[in-house]
Structures are given as structure tokens and as C-alpha cells.
Amino acid sequence: MIKRSVIALTALIAAAPGLAAELNINNASADKLAQLNGVGDVKSQAIVDYRQSNGAFDAVDELTEVDGIGDATLDKNRERLTAQPVE
């Protein structure tokens, strides 16, 4: 019984990264963006400000054009992000 529980818990933990919902960088709030790995309040606000000044992102890779967002930060979060058009 305990062995099955441990196996089930291990499987759940292994699947957890895939369970994270995608975050659309074209309409996510600064609060939502701040929850990303390596992104806090200042960087998340910079993303929102950039989006408001330059329009929607065409691709997730464009995040590196935002001051403070580099390749390492993007790579840590890439699987969670999407750049879907917003109507």
C-alpha cells in the first residue's frame, strides 16, 4: 500500500511541470508575469510596459527585447509561455 502511494506520488511530481498552464505574454497581467522564474515585480511591469508601447509580441523569443529579460530567464520559462494574438 505504501509502495503504491510512493509510486503514485512520484509520478504526480514528475508530471507537475507539464501541468502548468500556459501564460499568454500578450495579455498576462504584471501580477501573473511576476510569478515566472526569475521575473519579479519590476521585470513583469517592464514586460507590460514594453507590450503597451510596442504592441503584441509575435513570438515568445521577443521577450529578450525587454530590458532585464535575457536568454537565461526566457529559457527557464519557455515551456510555460505562449504569444497568442489577442483580439
Q: What is the pLDDT along the chain (87 residues), one digit of tens a residue?
A: 676 665 655 555 544 454 457 999 999 999 999 999 999 999 999 999 999 999 999 999 999 999 999 999 999 999 999 999 988
Is the pTM higher than 0.95? The answer reads: no
Look at residues 42, 82, 87 and name the one whose alpha carbon lies nearest to residue 58.
82
- Name the grid cell of 20: 502548468
CA 64/CA 2 separation, integer angstroms:
46
Domains of the chain with bracketed CATH = 22-82 (1.10.150.280)
* CA distance linking residue 34 with residue 4, whole number of Å: 37
- Give me 35's grid cell: 510569478
